[in-house]
Structure 1
Amino acid sequence: MKVERSVQKALLERLNEAKPNAVNPSELKDLIDDMKQLTACCLYLHEHGLVRATISKFMSGESELLAAEITADGVDLLRKYGGQATILEANTITFHEDEIRHLIEARVLEAKLSDTDKQDLLQTLRQAPADSIRHLTMQLLDAGLENLPRAIQLVRTCIWNSRA
């Protein structure tokens, strides 16, 4: 089965227009006139959770589409901003305080400071409570965002240098 993505999108749009009702195959023949292809296309979209397809399987091994309706995931796919799925599937990034301490320690060790200053700073960092580390992390993030133009410049420089 080879169905163009544009046809799959048109099929989803047709089902979306009919929502909340299911659509029977005769209403989709103008999109895909071959019943085997229409059934296969709807089954494919069904397997990806974009369509709920009711398919009858005959003893001969043949399958035939009886009805199809779009799912919430199918509707979200059609929406330019991603719909509810985008909101519900937000990713949360979590750093444990020890990970933050190790990242900061590594930078302190690389810094151009005297060994005494480095040791004092590392000792203070290691003794700091979790709330202090959380506050420090926010301050470091703010400082990084304030220097975003410099970071963008570094990214461009690295990309351009890698092209040469």
Structure 2
Amino acid sequence: MDKFDRPRQRLFLQGLYDAYPEELTNEQLEELLSSFPDEKVTTANLLYLEKHGLIFSGLQEGAVGYHLVNRPAITHKGIDFIRDDGGLGAILNVQTVKFHDSTITALEDIIRVANLPDEKKSGLISKLRELPSDAIKHLTLQLLTKGVLNLPAALPIIEKFLRSV
């Protein structure tokens, strides 16, 4: 039997989630703790979940091992884990990617030198300027991929650039 049994851990987290924001009752705590085969395995799992930031274990280290001095409680990370939706962390931890004006200018320059009618070039540049940043990022990555796939043709350009830097 695996000491770190995922279904038992999930059951324990679910019990804390269901009780939140209240503390577990004595009966609830006993029921959850009894799902583990022995005290050593219980302690190991509570510490494991705590080290991952999913719970406050309520354990305190003493002279002869750990003792439960407070009732375990679920953390915000534990709630997000149980909900399995990324939680507020997914919303609050959004990273912004900024593109320099030079990136957009470089894309415009590529369009300007393309063998296309001026009317079509103007339309493409206009649409490019209206694109949100994630679309520009996607376009830039697509162009980079095409460049890598045609690496033999791109190598002289890369070499020329690296020599000039």
Instruction: Give the share of equivalent positions with the same residue, in percent.
Output: 33
Is the CA contact (8 Å cut-off) linking 1:52 and 1:70 kept in structure 2? yes
Normalization by structure 1: what TM-score? 0.60
1:81 counterpart = 2:85 = yes
1:12 counterpart = 2:13 = yes
Note the 1:17-28 alignment, pairs <5 A: 17-23=18-24, 26-28=30-32
Report how far residue 106 of structure 1 moved.
4.7
CA distance in 1, matches of 2:12, 2:6: 10
- The root-mean-square deviation of aligned C-alpha atoms, in Å, is 3.5
1:69 counterpart = 2:73 = yes
> Secondary structure of 1:73's match?
helix
- Residue 13 and residue 134 in structure 1: after superposition, are their counterparts in 2 closer, same or farther (change >3 A)? farther
Normalization by structure 2: what TM-score? 0.60
1:34 counterpart = 2:38 = yes
Question: What is the match of residue 152 of structure 2?
Answer: none
- Residue 21 and residue 140 in structure 1: after superposition, are their counterparts in 2 closer, same or farther (change >3 A)? closer
Unpaired runs of 5+ residues, structure 2, are 137-141, 143-165
Q: How many residues were matched structurally?
A: 127
CA distance in 2, matches of 1:94, 1:36: 50
CA distance in 2, matches of 1:29, 1:139: 55
CA distance in 1, matches of 2:13, 2:78: 7
Report how far residue 134 of structure 1 moved.
9.8
Question: What is the match of residue 155 of structure 1?
Answer: none
CA offsets, 1:99-122, max 9 Å, x none? 22234435655x3359xx8xxx8x
Question: What is the match of residue 129 of structure 2?
Answer: 137
